[in-house]
Structure 1
Amino acid sequence: MPIALLALTAGAFGIGTTEFVIMGLLLQVSADLQVSIAAAGLLISGYALGVAVGAPLLTIASRRLPRKTVLLGLMAIFTLGNIACAMAGSYELLMAARVVTSLAHGTFFGVGSVVATGLVPPERRASAIAVMFTGLTAATLLGVPAGAWLGLHFGWRSTFWAVALIGVAAFTVLALFVPRGGRADAAPAALRDELAVLARPQVLLGLAITVLGFAGVFAVFTFIQPLLTRVTGVSAAAVSPILLLFGGGLAVGNLLGGWLADRAPMPSLLGSLVALAAVLGAMQWLVHRPWTAVVFVLLLGIAAFATVAPLQLRVLDKAAGAGQNLASSLNIAAFNLGNALGAWAGGGVIERGPGLQALGWVAALLTLAGLAIALWSRALDRRLPAAAVTACA
Structure 2
Amino acid sequence: MMQKKQRMNLREALPLAGITVSTFIFCTSEFMPVALLTDIALSFSVTESQAGMLISVYAWMVMLLSLPLMIAASRIGFRRLFLIIVALFAFGQLLSSLATSYFMLMAARIVVACAHAIFWSIAPPMAVRVVSEDHRHMALGMVVMGESVALIAGLPLGRVIGLALGWRMTFACVAIITVIIFIYLYFVLPIIPATKPFSVRRLPVLFKTKTLRSLYLFVGVMMTAYYMCYSYIEPYLLQSVGLEEQTVTVVIAFFGVAGILGSVLFSKIYARQRVKFLCGCLLGLVTAFFVLFISQEFLIGVLGACVVLGMGSTAMNAALQSEVIRYSSLDDQAVATSIFSAIFNFGIGSGSALGGVVTSCVSVGSIGAAAGALGLVAFLYCVIVLIPRLRIART
Task: Mark yes or no: TM-score above 0.5.
Answer: yes
Q: CA deviation at 1:316?
A: 1.4
Are residues 105 and 194 of structure 1, via their aligned partners in 2, closer, same or farther at CA, if it must alter by over 3 Å?
farther
Q: Is the 8 A contact 1:214 1:338 kept in 2?
A: yes
Query: Are residue 254 (structure 1) and residue 263 (structure 2) matched?
Result: yes
Alignment partners' CA distance in 2, 1:217 and 1:118:
30
Which of 26, 46, 61 is 1:50 aligned to?
A: 61
* Other-structure match for 2:321: 312
CA contact (8 A) 2:121 2:334 kept: yes
Task: Name the structure 2 match of 1:299.
Answer: 308
Deviation at 1:237, TM superposition (A): 4.5
Alignment of 1:155-304 (within 5 A): 155-181=166-192, 185-192=193-200, 195=203, 196-304=205-313
Go from structure 1 to structure 2 and tell me whether the alpha carbon gap of 1:330 and 1:255 turns closer, same or farther (over 3 Å shift).
farther
Are residues 246 and 167 of structure 1, via their aligned partners in 2, closer, same or farther at CA, if it must alter by over 3 Å? same
In structure 1, what is the equivalent of residue 352 of structure 2?
Answer: 343
Distance 1:81 1:342, change over 3 A: closer
Query: More helix per residue: 1 or 2?
Result: 1
Q: What's the TM-score once normalised by structure 2's chain length?
A: 0.85
Give, in angstroms, the shift of residue 6 of structure 1.
Answer: 0.7
> For 1:176-208, what per-residue CA distance to the aligned partner results, in whole angstroms no more than 9, with x for missing partners?
222214xxx442433146523233332121111
Q: Residues 85, 343 of structure 1: CA spacing in aligned structure 2 closer, same or farther, 3 A cutoff?
A: closer
- Code of the aligned partner of 1:372: L
Deviation by residue 1:316-337 (Cα, 9 ceiling, x = unmatched): 1122233211111221222222
**Counterpart position of 1:391:** none
Give the superposition deviation at 1:240.
2.1
Cα deviation, residue 312, structure 1: 0.7
The C-alpha deviation readout for 1:44-67, integer Å capped at 9, x for no partner, is: 222222211121121111011111
| TM-score, normalised via structure 1 length | 0.86
Please state how far the C-alpha of 1:99 moved relative to its aligned partner: 0.1
* Structure 1 position 380 matched with structure 2 position 389: yes
CA drift of 1:159 comes to 2.2
Specify whether residues 161 and 194 from structure 1 end up closer, same or farther in structure 2 by C-alpha distance, changes over 3 A only.
farther
Q: Is the 8 A contact 1:208 1:370 kept in 2?
A: no
**Residues of 2 paired with 1:296 and 1:274: CA distance?**
12
RMSD over aligned Cα atoms? 2.8
Distance 1:327 1:272 in 2: 23
AA in 2 matched with 1:162: C
Partner of 1:329: 338
Residue 269 of structure 2 aligns with an amino acid whose one-letter code is L
Deviations 1:258-300 (A, max 9, x none): 4322333333222221222233344454443122222222222
Q: Distance in 1 between matches of 2:245 and 2:170?
A: 23
Report the number of matched residues. Answer: 382
Structure 1 residues 157, 343: CA separation in 2 closer, same or farther (over 3 Å shift)?
A: closer
Q: Does 1:73 align with 2:81?
A: no
**Structure 1 contact 193–322 (Cα < 8 Å) conserved:** no
In structure 2, relative to structure 1, the CA distance for the partners of 1:46 and 1:131 (3 Å cut) is same
Deviation at 1:378, TM superposition (A): 3.4
Letter in 1 for 2:195: A
Deviation at 1:357, TM superposition (A): 5.6
CA contact (8 A) 2:25 2:174 kept: yes
Using a 3 Å threshold, how does the CA distance of structure 1 residues 283 and 374 change in structure 2: closer, same or farther?
A: same
* Alpha-carbon distance in structure 2 between the residues aligned to 1:155 and 1:351: 26
Q: Which runs of 5+ in 2 are unaligned?
A: 1-7
Distance 2:163 2:364 in 1: 30
Query: What is the match of residue 112 of structure 1?
Result: 123
User: Partner of 1:262: helix, strand, or coil?
Assistant: coil
Instruction: Please point out which of 132, 141, 148 is paired with 1:137.
Output: 148
Counterpart residue type for residue 228 of structure 2? A
Q: Displacement of 1:235 after TM fit?
A: 4.1
